[in-house]
Amino acid sequence: MAPAAITLAADAPKLSSANTGFMLIASALVLIMTPGLAFFYGGMVRVKSTLNMLMMSFISMGIITILWVLYGFSLAFGTNNSFIGWDSDWFGLHKIGLTELWPGYTIPIFVFMVFQMMFAIITPALISGALADRVKFSAWSLFIALWLTIVYVPVAHWVWGSDGWAFKLGVIDFAGGTAVHINAGAAALGVILVIGKRVGFKKDPMRPHSLPLVMLGAGLLWFGWFGFNAGSWLGNDDGVGALMFVNTQVATAAAMLAWLAYEKIRHGAFTTLGAASGAVAGLVAITPSGGAVSPLGAIAVGAIAGVACAAAVGLKFKFGYDDSLDVVGVHMVGGIIGSLLIGFFATGKGQSTATGVFYGDHSFTQLWKQCAGVGAVLAYSLVVSAVLAFLLDKTIGMRVTEDEEVSGIDQAEHAETAYDFSGAGGGVMGTAASALAATETRKVDA
């Protein structure tokens, strides 16, 4: 072997048990975000839609997992094309060695694949919050399968694939501001413009039925997001992952406080729903920018996102689109803010979760790159998602009937209800129901 080859072999990355273990833990943390999202959304809807909201997230864990193994990973992270990946050895994961490393890193391809799988799972689940109360479960299941294939996979390749056009342009997206949050938020807007409003929108009260569930879900999201963000440095030992961990906490706290302050000034109260929503807004905004800004910059990103997202959620009433659980106002707006603020607050490294490092400082040059990435993802996802929803609506139908929506989508689509107050130990409601049943029985007997 030539001396140069010996040197190259010595410098080649070797499998790191520590980094591999860390990334497996990070992957598990990202997975727990989807049940967390289910609780977050499930508590925000009315009782009659609780199970449907939970199932719209949980079904993503099944469908997306299988499709990601079959072809999603290959198309998202294969090489040789700026718009879509391709690696036939990765289809079905059938030619990947157990210790074969992700190029340039110290973790196996399998570990990187499963980490990215968790991102692919939660992204379509985010869309579901905009469609609460009114979408057929079968249509939703088919929609997310098609959406992963036609929207998520190409966008992930653009932003994170080593040959993706946005990656090569220098668009900074540490962990998913464009590929996850703007992508999901724009898709949500596209779909709701097609399927229309809920029955009683702007007329009937549609308050959250369980704020404790909302807070539980927000807490699980916050907890899991450390894996989502810090894990996106893929275990590299140069401190950027630690910075991202710190910035995730800092920006989330700042956004929560800023949202609550906005609420108090605008509406006169500090609400638990506002605290939960503000925290999620901060998590969204720091996701693309956290590896490129300082902790002080993270405070600024979080505070700006908290106020902007709090203001944005009211736009649905002004413009008349029914974004049930504020996916557009929090995820799309928060993702845009976090991505664009890189152009103002970046101080050094900014990274794509696939490979490579960008060294970007706050500048007009970086800002226009961020604008290009944001604009392309937003437009593509909105238009293609709307077309998908339109085609499904005209073929199998996207919405349940008006009667089923009014009576409750849980019973219509799942033949279940979230809470049973009629059985033994049902408390006041159970006692009242039993008394009513006994009264009716006596009437019949009489």
* pLDDT value of residue 425: 53
* In the predicted structure, residue 10 carries a pLDDT above the cut 80: no
Strand 357-359 relative to strand 349-351, pairing: antiparallel
Tokens linked to 329: 């106002």
* pLDDT value of residue 362: 53
Is residue 395 within a helix (H) or strand (E), and if so which, with residue range? helix 364-395
DSSP states of 171-185: ---SSSIIIIIIHHH
Rounded distance between C-alpha atoms, residue 299 and residue 249, angstroms: 10
pLDDT level of residue 349 (50, 70, 90 thresholds)? low
What is the longest distance spanned by two Cα atoms in the chain?
Answer: 102
* pLDDT value of residue 189: 98
pLDDT digit string (tens) for 241-297?
999 999 999 999 999 999 999 999 999 999 999 999 999 999 999 999 999 999 999
pLDDT digit string (tens) for 185-215?
999 999 999 999 999 998 988 999 999 999 9
Smallest CA-to-CA distance from 122 within 48, 17, 229, 243 is with 229
pLDDT digit string (tens) for 77-87?
998 889 999 88
Looking at every residue in the chain, the average pLDDT score rounds to: 90
DSSP states of 399-424: BPPHHHHHH-HHHHHHS--S---SST
* pLDDT value of residue 11: 65
* pLDDT value of residue 48: 96
pLDDT digit string (tens) for 12-65?
789 999 999 999 999 999 999 999 999 999 999 999 999 999 999 999 999 999
* In the predicted structure, residue 435 carries a pLDDT above the cut 50: no
pLDDT digit string (tens) for 93-134?
999 999 999 999 999 999 999 999 999 999 999 999 999 999
* In the predicted structure, residue 428 carries a pLDDT above the cut 50: no
In angstroms, what CA-CA distances link 255 with 41, 262, 277, 310? 19, 10, 9, 10
* pLDDT value of residue 205: 86
CB 13 within 8 A of CB 104: yes
* In the predicted structure, residue 183 carries a pLDDT above the cut 80: yes
* In the predicted structure, residue 336 carries a pLDDT above the cut 90: yes
